[in-house]
Structure 1
Amino acid sequence: MTDSTAFDWRSFLLKWSGEWADSLPESETRDADDEAARQARWLGFPPASEERIAAMEERLGRQLPPSYREFLKVSDGWRNAGGFVWLLAGTGDARWHNNESGLADMYAEHLDEDSGPEERREADLWRRGLQLDVESDVTYVLMDPEDVDDDGEWAVYTWSSWRAEPPERHANFLAFMRDMHREFHSLGARQGDTGPVFANDTTRELDARVEEARLAALGGGWEQAEKALDEAKGYSRPRAAGLGDQIRRLLGKTYMVYFEDLVTDPRYTPELLPPLVAEHARHTNWDDATLRFQLRGADDELMSLAFETLDQVRNGTYRYTPAGPFGEAVDRARELARWGGSDAAWRTLMDALPLWEPLGPDHLAPLAWVADPVLGQLLTPERGRELLSTPRAGRTGTPPSPAANLDPGGLAWLAEPDRGNNRTSYRFVLVEGVHPEELPGRLTDAGGDGGGGMNGDADVHGADTVLNAPMTLWDARHTSTADQREFSSYDDRALVAVGRAGTDWSFAFDDRPAPFHRPRFVSPAAAAGVGTRAMVVWSGLRPGHRKPFFHLSMAEDGAERYAFTYEGGEIRRSGEIPEALEPTRFFGDLAEGAAAEAERPLLEAVTREFGASLPRHALTSGRLHTFTTRSWTRPPGQGETYTVVRRDPPPAQWTTGGHP
């Protein structure tokens, strides 16, 4: 016996009928059939006999699917199936559709030689389907005799002209009727003041489940909570969408997350408005009117706050500042994250989560931090699950296992292909014992502006320059060149991201360096290493370079101690190179064209020698401070030429210069 044949149709249909009758306003004018159904508290008809069902099957030439057959034994047809099918067929009215709607022709027009089997079957549905709608609001209900499961159930498809969507599939007739009962509830819950209060056993049961789900979510049981809230949301129960959206947002499921019923509540606005606005900003650059749709019911004051927050998000100046001990931990986490410590920042937040205080009973977890430009990049689906699985707000339970770190440590990850294989070359400077804020003073010309820091509270002043506010490297490059009118091969000023490179080192990293030109290259290690040690690595060992190259230089107290450059099969060296970094160990026995094989062991050796590390997640997905260094090349000498491109719109002008 299948689930559909074991289903108690009579109890389900009686409950539905009673709920429908109780939802009707007394003053509403109804036709005779609906009025009789209201008084009888029964939307159905007398049951179909086995003989009538058998005669129907003989007329159609097919055995009916089990769930529809069992339904007919209880009611030979149905009134008001959902909100748009007013009469559903019984044994006498069901018929083959035979393209009565003309939809087969409409769908066939979109078929071509590349159309797959599913598309063709969708078009043919309108010729072969069994039509169940008798009276409707331009809505068709068809059972598909060729979409059959192992229990002999036929899938049901519904289509409405005003929905402008492909047909909706229901697994079987029972699933279709449950969906129609849900649709009736969803519409009834929104009837407002036009009728009696929409309350019945179903709504009371669902509302109790919503409250149970809320408590379960706070205790770390987000999976069962999400399932219960999704079910209640389908019935348009209050709070269900707003609570469920908090779970979905932390799982990275951002589509159609609006925090309904809660975001316009002043108690929750500080936590729910920023993530909603941030998602809007991520996908929309021009039509901010849609924000009003997402904040349905918002007053002028809330809309003003929404647009103010939107400006902060787009400018990168929004800051998540909760109160209390958890807020203090947020500040510490932000400080760690803005210098590349993504994993340490996340652990700081998780360790402080038991101290977090909700803004009200329907606040399930801290959320506004995902809109913070520095903290938001810490979120991954795995970390979202960790946060949601952690008991909080006074609830007890077993803490979850920590989510895996995002940074592998060391430098060897640079030898791995990046997403899209765009990182064919990179270079970085490591300086020992100094804070990242000090790097501009060591890597820019004295008194220079380092490329011009952005205005704003988030800019950080170093010794001689200004660090740009934290942003992705892509955004930093776009910002730095947006107003630039002249580009020259005369110099090679690198836009670098800065942060901490482990316990004792700070880094400046460039993931899109200019072409390596050894004769004019000047390592910045000596200038960066005044009073300490500094190291420079520039790698171009990936395929795509005419001459694969790798440079390493080490300076101490302002003087270069050793260096080597591998390029095109040749090694140039100076100073006393430690045995662990001896270049012949890595390049000496390589076959021609195999230079890339040396990259990982070289980076592993550098990691062991200096104990330094670069934060992969922050450099590839996070937001870091940036600045522009002095040139990595010396000025052109006598007889050397260079190219200048001046962007004088329009058109661009090319100028060739040089020293005679």
Structure 2
Amino acid sequence: MDATTFDWRAFLTRWSEEWAGARDDLAALSADDAGLRRRRWLGDAPAAEADIAAMEARIGCAMPPSYREFLRVSNGWQHAGGFVWRLAGTHEAHWHEDASGLGEDFDEFWGEEDNPEEVRAQVGLWSRALQLDVASDATYVLLDPEDTGPDGEWAVRVWASWLDQDPRWYASFAEFMVAMHQEFHSLEADRDRPESTAAFVNETTRTQDAAVAKARTAALRGRHEEAIPLLVEARQYGRPHAAELLQQIGRLGGRHSDSEQQPHPDDPRFLTELLPLDAADLLNSGRGTDSWRFADSERFPGTAQAAADIWRESKEGTYRYAPGGAFGEAVDEAREQARWGDTDAAWRTLRAAIALWEPLGPGHIAPVGLLADPLLAPVLTPARRLELLATPRGGETGPAPDPAGDQDPHGLSWLARPGELSAGQSSPCDFRMVLVEGITPDALPALLGSSPGAPLAPPLRRWDVSRHHRPRQRTFSGYDDKALLSVGRAGTDWSFGFDESASTAFSMQRFITPAPAASVHGLAIVVWSQWRLDTPVFHLSAARNGTLLYAFTVRDAVPEHSSGSLPAELTPTALGFDMPGTAARVAATARALEAITERYGVSLPRRALTEGRLHSFESASWIRPPGPGETYMTITIG
């Protein structure tokens, strides 16, 4: 803030008028405050130049510019915000000299070597600062002569005993006073008022409410960057909807989300947007269900049952975002696409419908409830969230943003790239998969399930698949290898079952390819790629109408098995599996996956497999039963 152009007279007069206008109940005022209300002035008489000179002689240095200009208008101030009841004038300001006894503890903490420079610079504050608070609620207002800006302003640091944090920092006394004016407004906006008293409305509230309305319109037109500074300032004044609009922008990646608004049952967005988001946040935080206060029927009798249902559905991964209307229809379609792995198509569906979205009230600028839906939240990548923010909606118009584009790589060869399935892994990941032509993903359990009528689990995150299907498994057999297959669409008329956590190492002597069982309606392809042991293995087999067409297995560049008539481009030699070295084996695996893609037009959705949720089931064993005389081990834990 430029102290040379700051109009102290106008600012302090407006503040005094607003304070007096908010004090309707004279009987509740103290004698001093009643006098302030009658005078409609929170300050003292202006300080004479002689008073300022005498003060500076007593203090031993010139005062910073904005504090000197303040004194020329008012030699002291009452009710600076909500917790400082009087600020010092020329006769009351004095060096603090650690009179509070806080310096030793703070200096020890601030002076630690690993602290940033700005933290270490606070060492000695309590000894060197000029104290401006005269009467307060255990709050200190300190001018720091060693934190001086190029304009000669001293920084102000404010600390209260009831705040568990470092002192708040302001670049100048003028900036501090603006913040205290904002604090006054924020407290007045939250204060309960009897119906007989006038509403808290004045020039400042009207100006800030107009700014919120302007910001909301800009945000709905896709210009959220214009909205942010308007909303930040309005939030400081406690204006309605400013904080929640900022929160929605922040939720969608608009670089500002430092205030989290708790949902409130009176808000029309409570059940469709706020409560599900709060449930998702609580689940992701790992805190216990005891923190879920909204299911308390005594505190929230009207919505407690709905809250309990939302909590249960969120835990189970079955919660559905259902905004209704034309946009709601698109959400339903996108959800169906996402649950079978096609997150790119799901985003295209949502993107096409964003313009049709309608807000639920003046505090609503975006369908942030999408982020609470377990299937749709992974669809909204950071780039797509920003695209949503930049898309005009809610009846407003404007230019459409550049599309974020698809996220999934084409085909299958990405599976051979290190780190693609598990971030940070330096080698390709283990996986096995079944690609089946002519059926939908929900038909796979009937062909490959471990038991008749094996059900599909609700859509699960990759790390939840095992604990869902085998929550209490204690027995493990060397002749039992039932895969946990996540399922989805692998292209036009193709479905996949995918397992990245094979429970056993590949064994050619015991392996039974599930390709024939999966191929009763068309072609089926099985791939098993193993890298976690010293001897990498790659297996490929294909079947049609229950009959094996071809198969081969290569272990560490050595063909281990081959049968049927292999397509020319899928022979181990053509793929380069006969070349030694890890890099050559990785390249051969990538070529094999690329050749399968080109020959059959199949693809796997990386984002759904790594970040999303997919249905899954337990397959029949990929290992044959033990033969005569063969032994195996069964281990039971507990």
| Aligned structure 1 segments of 4 or more residues deviating by more than 6 angstroms | 252-255, 295-298
- Superposed CA deviations along residues 521-567 of structure 1, whole A, max 9, x for unmatched, are 222223222342222222234xx532222222223333333333332
CA-CA distance at 1:362 after TM superposition:
4.4
CA-CA distance at 1:185 after TM superposition:
0.6
Q: Which amino acid aligns with 2:106?
A: Y
CA-CA distance at 1:115 after TM superposition:
4.1
Mapped to 2, the partners of 1:229 and 1:269 lie a distance apart of 25
CA-CA distance at 1:54 after TM superposition:
5.0
Q: Which amino acid aligns with 1:429?
A: V
C-alpha RMSD over aligned residues: 3.1
Q: Which amino acid aligns with 1:72?
A: L
Alignment match of 1:207 (pick from 209, 212, 216): 209
CA-CA distance at 1:70 after TM superposition:
3.2
Mapped to 2, the partners of 1:288 and 1:296 lie a distance apart of 14
Mapped to 2, the partners of 1:146 and 1:644 lie a distance apart of 73
| Structure 1 partner of 2:234 | 232
| Structure 1 partner of 2:527 | 537
Contact kept, 8 Å, 1:264 with 1:297, in 2: the verdict is: no
| Structure 1 partner of 2:441 | 436
CA-CA distance at 1:342 after TM superposition:
0.6
Alignment match of 1:567 (pick from 548, 555, 558): 555
| Structure 2 partner of 1:193 | 193
- Against the structure 1 CA distance between its residues 360 and 21, is the aligned structure 2 distance closer, same or farther, given a 3 Å change threshold? closer
What is the correspondence of 1:98-177 to structure 2 with a 5 Å cutoff?
Answer: 98-108=97-107, 110=109, 115-118=114-117, 119-177=119-177
What is the correspondence of 1:507-518 to structure 2 with a 5 Å cutoff?
Answer: 507-518=496-507
Mapped to 1, the partners of 2:527 and 2:550 lie a distance apart of 12
Mapped to 2, the partners of 1:312 and 1:381 lie a distance apart of 25
Mapped to 2, the partners of 1:130 and 1:88 lie a distance apart of 12
CA-CA distance at 1:439 after TM superposition:
1.4
- Against the structure 1 CA distance between its residues 109 and 645, is the aligned structure 2 distance closer, same or farther, given a 3 Å change threshold? farther
What is the correspondence of 1:438-453 to structure 2 with a 5 Å cutoff?
Answer: 438-445=443-450, 448-449=451-452
Alignment match of 1:276 (pick from 268, 278, 291): 278
Deviates further, 314-323 or 132-141: 314-323
Alignment match of 1:419 (pick from 418, 423, 442): 423
Mapped to 2, the partners of 1:129 and 1:442 lie a distance apart of 78
Deviates further, 370-379 or 134-143: 370-379
| Structure 2 partner of 1:625 | 615
- Against the structure 1 CA distance between its residues 590 and 63, is the aligned structure 2 distance closer, same or farther, given a 3 Å change threshold? farther
Residue 619 of structure 2 aligns to a residue whose secondary structure is strand
| Structure 2 partner of 1:323 | 324
Mapped to 2, the partners of 1:356 and 1:285 lie a distance apart of 33
Q: Which amino acid aligns with 1:532?
A: G
| Structure 2 partner of 1:549 | 537
Residue 162 of structure 1 aligns to a residue whose secondary structure is coil
Residue 606 of structure 1 aligns to a residue whose secondary structure is helix
User: So what's the TM-score if we normalise by structure 2?
Assistant: 0.89
- How many pairs were matched up? 627
The answer as to 2:595 corresponding to 1:643 is no
Residue 520 of structure 1 aligns to a residue whose secondary structure is coil
CA-CA distance at 1:627 after TM superposition:
0.3
- Superposed CA deviations along residues 364-401 of structure 1, whole A, max 9, x for unmatched, are 33343333322232223322222222222322211222
5+ residue gaps, structure 2: none
User: So what's the TM-score if we normalise by structure 1?
Assistant: 0.86
Mapped to 2, the partners of 1:55 and 1:482 lie a distance apart of 79
| Structure 1 partner of 2:13 | 14
Contact kept, 8 Å, 2:525 with 2:541, in 1: the verdict is: yes
What is the correspondence of 1:43-442 to structure 2 with a 5 Å cutoff?
Answer: 43-50=42-49, 52-108=51-107, 110=109, 115-118=114-117, 119-193=119-193, 196-251=198-253, 257-258=260-261, 263-266=265-268, 269-283=271-285, 285-292=287-294, 299-414=300-415, 415-417=417-419, 418-421=422-425, 424-442=429-447
Q: Which amino acid aligns with 1:245?
A: Q
Q: Which amino acid aligns with 1:257?
A: E
Mapped to 1, the partners of 2:27 and 2:386 lie a distance apart of 49
Mapped to 2, the partners of 1:504 and 1:207 lie a distance apart of 55
| Structure 2 partner of 1:461 | none
Contact kept, 8 Å, 2:209 with 2:239, in 1: the verdict is: yes
5+ residue gaps, structure 1: 450-463, 653-660
- Superposed CA deviations along residues 2-48 of structure 1, whole A, max 9, x for unmatched, are 72332222211111111112212342455565444333322223344
Contact kept, 8 Å, 1:43 with 1:78, in 2: the verdict is: yes
Q: Which amino acid aligns with 2:463?
A: W
Residue 471 of structure 1 aligns to a residue whose secondary structure is coil
- Against the structure 1 CA distance between its residues 508 and 148, is the aligned structure 2 distance closer, same or farther, given a 3 Å change threshold? farther
Alignment identity in percent?
Answer: 48
- Against the structure 1 CA distance between its residues 639 and 74, is the aligned structure 2 distance closer, same or farther, given a 3 Å change threshold? farther
CA-CA distance at 1:299 after TM superposition:
4.3
Q: Which amino acid aligns with 1:503?
A: T
Contact kept, 8 Å, 1:254 with 1:279, in 2: the verdict is: no
